[in-house]
Amino acid sequence: FVRPHGKTSDGHIPLPAPIREGDPWRVVPVTFKRAVLLYDIHIPFHDEQNCQTATRYARDEIGPDCIVLAGDLMDFYSLSFWERDPNLRDTVSELRMGERFLEVLRETFPKAKIILQEGNHEERLPRYVWQSAPELGNLDELKLASLLHCADYNVDVVTGKKPLLAGGNLHILHGHEFGGFMTNPVNPARGLFLRGKVNAVCGHFHQTSHHTEPGLGHPVSTWSSGCLCNLKPKYRPINKWDAGFVSVDLTKQNWSVRTHKIIKGQVV
């Protein structure tokens, strides 16, 4: 006689099996020698001059082998739950502009790895599909990578609030991953330090800043990047935003981060 397993008399507690959410959260390792991080472009509300300035400077002065579109490449204005101007609701045009941006980026950097991280604005797309057409919620053709034809331009897409990990201990985030507001009365970089306690770079707040604190072993540094979108949007014309981007140099021994501001069409 063999007693069946799974009874409390066997020391087993028969709890119900959990629901598996599919693709698990994880940090995504990334390797490169020199990368450029472009944050918060917000197509179709991008600043054309600042985008050209950043792209031209990256091509001529940095020569990256990796471009990270680190969140909010797209705005998806029409899919927002906020109040929307009916004259600006044209998601199809937004998608075509986004695809054209990827096409130009690939033409400018033909050999570079290009990674598109989803930010909070890209997350508007699946939320809209789930709410409006839940039966189609898992259809690949309605996902960002398909709608922007990322495979045609050899662009990798990172979803699910997954940070990139460069050099073993530099985390590249969009900035919305912690939920709520991460900023504080000092600057976004200090807010990132307080929430993450690791070396990290973020965008999301459209503001360039840097924060470093010593530790028992090595100091911990955090950075936030300026944006490449319209600096005076109708919904928030008075703000602390600035234009800019980030470059990262990576070696086997170390890495370095540099924030670049764009003022009057010039990188400073």
CA–CA separation, 193 and 69 (whole Å): 22
162 backbone dihedrals φ, ψ, rounded to 5°: -90, 120
Contact 24, 159 (CB under 8 A): no
Q: Which residues contact 32 (CB under 8 A, 6 or more apart)?
A: 64, 65, 66, 113, 166, 248, 250
Residue matched to tokens 């965008």: 203
Specify the pTM: 0.90
Contact 205, 244 (CB under 8 A): no
CA–CA separation, 19 and 171 (whole Å): 29
- Residue 18: the pLDDT is 84
Q: Could you tell me how many residues make up the chain? A: 268
Residue matched to tokens 């309605």: 142
Q: How many CB atoms lie within 10 A of CB 89?
A: 13
Q: What is the mean pLDDT of each run of 10 residues along the chain (268 residues)?
A: 58 76 86 96 96 97 97 90 72 93 97 96 93 88 95 96 93 89 75 92 96 87 96 90 96 89 94
Contact 160, 179 (CB under 8 A): no
Could you tell me which of 10, 38, 58, 229 has the C-alpha nearest to residue 117?
38
Q: What tokens does 174 get?
A: 């969009």
- Residue 96: the pLDDT is 95
- Residue 2: the pLDDT is 57
